[in-house]
Amino acid sequence: MFFNSLSFALFLPIVFVLYWFVFNKTKSTQNALLIVASYYFYSCWDWRFLFLLVFSTFLDYYTGIRIEKAKTETARKFWFWLSISVNLGFLGIFKYYNFFAASFSELLNGFGLQTSPLLLNVVLPVGISFYTFHGLSYVIDIYLKRIKAEYNFVDYSLFVSYFPLLVAGPIERATHLLPQVKVKRTFDFEKAKEGVYQIIWGLFKKVVIADTCATYANAIFDHYQSMNSLSLILGAFYFAFQIYGDFSGYSDMALGMSKLFGLDLLRNFNYPYFSRDIAEFWRRWHISLSSWFRDYVYIPLGGSRGSKLKQVRNVFVIFLLSGFWHGANWTFIAWGFINALYFLPLLLRDTNRSNIETVALGWDFSSLKVFFSILSTFVLTCLAWVFFRAKSIGDAFDYISRIFTDQNFKIQYLENERYSYEILLLIFIFILVEWNARTKIEPISGSYSWLKVTLCIAAIVALGTYSDYKEFIYFQF
């Protein structure tokens, strides 16, 4: 059941009505309803993996209590490491086992030892990376005595399984979401209205921007060997907007529908393509994952303290882990590595926190400099996305080298019977809208909101891509 499906368009209003009109007496009834709805939502993907979700929830709930109640440090450590290893074990088996087995086999073959890897025929449970990270952050916070263990199983289950964030985040923190589910929610019209606007804007980003860009990006990436320089540049450009529209659109819808239930989720995107350097980009892109790695990996490793060498090591560790989190493929690791390389000059010059304030442009020389910073950051990001999108690292290098060697900038007619330049105007308008809204959560609220809603709805129905259905990219992670 996708957020942009007809079945979800029926599911959400039903849950909303039950939540506010039938199960609205206490926070327990509200939470119980959301749990049932979440488990139903998840079982629509594959009911068999519901057991995995429930087991993971119970494991972290139980070990969290045992860590808190442990009388000795050894017992604390035991329960902590039990939780960590089981969580990562599941993730490892379902997501990474085949990758490691195949890579190890290739390595042995490289040394002349002919082996065939023993691969598992398992499907990756949807959302496993997200709910595992929810659980991990909870257990680590208890272990580090940042929070108290949650004794109410229903409340804790809701924190892990809450359907808007269950399959593609944002990755929530117990410190942020648990306090909210522990009190009865009362309806707030302004918040709900904001939520509806955010859902509409998220849907626009998904079906109009992401899915349309996907049609063109796929046609270019899948036949990149017959594409000229211009098409290859456009392919990377389209994929940048595909992945942004897809993931930030999903996050917007998740945040928006949570507001309908009186809950606030962590913001996941903050107009990342207007970043002036890569450090700023990573403070604006998939914020909940970046901050997760910052708090649970980077800072424990020493963060920006210690020698430069140590700092460099820490940066590479989190970027490589971040890449690997996305999927068991060398392309994702290469993508993480490239981003670490981009980050390196900023770290060495201590300028990684120089662009904190909201970006502004005027008619002066400094604005020109800002504009080129944004442009160059975007170009670097697009080059890295080529690795993220390509089927192999070899393909990615080949793709990029063709951009520079082909030198042909004629407009091409693609396999999908469309010209490569066709959606540039749409993307340009989208960039302008986002630029004007960059200090807000979404661009619809404020003056002329009804006009903006009308335009959005018209664009969603008239310009959206529905026939060639595309899943949300981050569901595979």
Partner 1 sequence: MMKRFLFFTIKILLLTFMVLVVLDIAYTQVYLQSSHRGKIDYVYNSKARHYDVVILGSSRANNHFVAPLFEEKGLKTFNYGMSGGHLFEASLLLKLMVERHYTIKNVILEADLNLANEKESESVASKFLPYIHRSKVIESHFAQQPHFWDNYYIPFYRYIVFDPQIGFREMYDAAREKPTKLLDHLGYYPLGKNPNANMKNDLTNLKPLHNEYYEEIKQICKANNINLIAVMTPMCSNVKGLDYFLKVNAIYPEIHNYENAIEGDQYFSSCGHMNDTGARKFTTVIINEFFNK
Concerning whether 134 is annotated as a catalytic residue, the answer is: no
7-40 core/surface letters (b: 16 or more CB in 10 A; e: else): ebeebbeebeebbbeebbeebebbbebbbebbbe
Q: What angle do CA 114, 117, 121 make, to 5 degrees?
A: 155
Using the minimum distance from each CB to partner 1, give the nearer residue, 409 or 469.
469
Q: How many CB atoms lie within 10 A of CB 287?
A: 21
- How far apart are CB 16 and partner 1 at their closest, in Å? 9
Catalytic residue among 134, 223, 286, 326: 326
Tracing tokens 């959400």 back to the chain, one arrives at 12
- How far apart are CB 38 and partner 1 at their closest, in Å? 23
List interacting residues with partner 1 (CB under 8 A). 20, 187-189, 192-193, 196, 418, 450, 453-454, 457-458, 461-468
Q: What angle do CA 151, 153, 156 make, to 5 degrees?
A: 90
By three-state DSSP, how is residue 413 classified? strand
CA pair distance 88, 96, nearest whole angstrom: 10
- For residue 274, CA distances in Å to 69, 282, 343 come to 47, 11, 17
Provide the sign of the torsion angle of the four alpha carbons 35, 37, 40, 45, taken in this order. Answer: negative
CA pair distance 428, 451, nearest whole angstrom: 20
- How far apart are CB 461 and partner 1 at their closest, in Å? 6
Residues 6+ away with beta carbon under 8 Å from 314:
298, 301, 302, 303, 304
Using the minimum distance from each CB to partner 1, give the nearer residue, 368 or 457.
457
Using the minimum distance from each CB to partner 1, give the nearer residue, 158 or 459.
459
- How far apart are CB 180 and partner 1 at their closest, in Å? 19
- How far apart are CB 258 and partner 1 at their closest, in Å? 15
Residues 6+ away with beta carbon under 8 Å from 300:
none
CA pair distance 204, 188, nearest whole angstrom: 24
Using the minimum distance from each CB to partner 1, give the nearer residue, 211 or 277.
211
Using the minimum distance from each CB to partner 1, give the nearer residue, 304 or 465.
465
CA pair distance 68, 446, nearest whole angstrom: 47
- How far apart are CB 423 and partner 1 at their closest, in Å? 10
Using the minimum distance from each CB to partner 1, give the nearer residue, 105 or 465.
465
Q: Looking at the annotation, which residues are catalytic?
A: 326
